[in-house]
Amino acid sequence: MEEFKNKRKITIDVVKANVFAVVIMFAAAVVFFVPYFLLWRENFSIQKLSALDFKPLLFLCIFITVGIVVHELIHGITFAYFAKSGWKSIKFGVMWKMLTPYCHCSEPLRKNEYILVSLMPCIILGIIPAVAALFVGSFALLFFGIVFIGAAAGDIWVSRLLIKEKSDCTVLDNPSEIGFYVIEA
């Protein structure tokens, strides 16, 4: 990292990121639940709600746990696609102090590539399932999508911060904190 002279560190506070996650999840719930309710109102009858079996909820909890791993894997696949050294530049782990899994790329990427890497899990695990739920009427799919939009809050925040940067900058992932380094051309 020392080889980059004009780099600027940008990080996100973990507590603020968690608060932001709640806000993002609430916003996603409003955006997707309102049309879901209008389209699939019959799913909310007293008879249907009282007949709920909790086995699907257990399955959903397991699916969410697997989804967290898949979230990081999606980052890794997207990082590897853009990194010159591919998978050799990718590292997975857990920040145990924050109980946060991560995927790190040791190579700098162009700004737009890094934004895409950041947003891919939100798109694949959050937005696509939530939109699909509107078409098929699956409340479990809607819930899953909303949870994973919230789980991508840090990634959304990173992308929001990067949009403000110069278009020709490169971005180096921070290996130990939630954030990145901007490398000026």
pLDDT tens digits for range 151-182: 999 999 999 999 999 999 999 999 888 899 99
Least confident of 66-80, 116-130, 135-149: 135-149
Residue 53: predicted pLDDT:
55
Residue 50: predicted pLDDT:
55
CA atoms within 13 A on the CB side of 137: 7
pLDDT tens digits for range 92-105: 998 887 778 899 99
Closest CA to 171 of 153, 184, 157: 184
Q: Which helix (H) or strand (E) holds 118?
A: helix 111-121
The pair phi, psi for residue 8, each rounded to 5°, is -125, 130
Output 53 or 124, whichever has higher pLDDT.
124
Output 124 or 140, whichever has higher pLDDT.
124
Q: Which helix (H) or strand (E) holds 100?
A: strand 100-105
DSSP helix/strand/coil, 158: helix
CA atoms within 13 A on the CB side of 22: 5
User: Mean of the per-residue pLDDT values for the chain?
Assistant: 89
Sorting pLDDT into bands at 50, 70 and 90, what band is 1? very low
What does the pLDDT average to over 45-73?
Answer: 74
Query: What is the pTM (predicted TM-score) of this model?
Result: 0.88
Whether pLDDT at 60 is above 80: no
Sorting pLDDT into bands at 50, 70 and 90, what band is 10? very high
Measured distance CA(21)–CA(11) in Å, rounded: 16
Number of H helices, E strands in the chain: 7, 6
Residue 3: predicted pLDDT:
66
What are the CA-CA distances from residue 102 to residues 51, 68, 96, 97, 98 (Å)?
A: 39, 10, 10, 12, 11
- What is the percentage of the chain residues whose pLDDT exceeds 70? 89
Residue 136: predicted pLDDT:
95
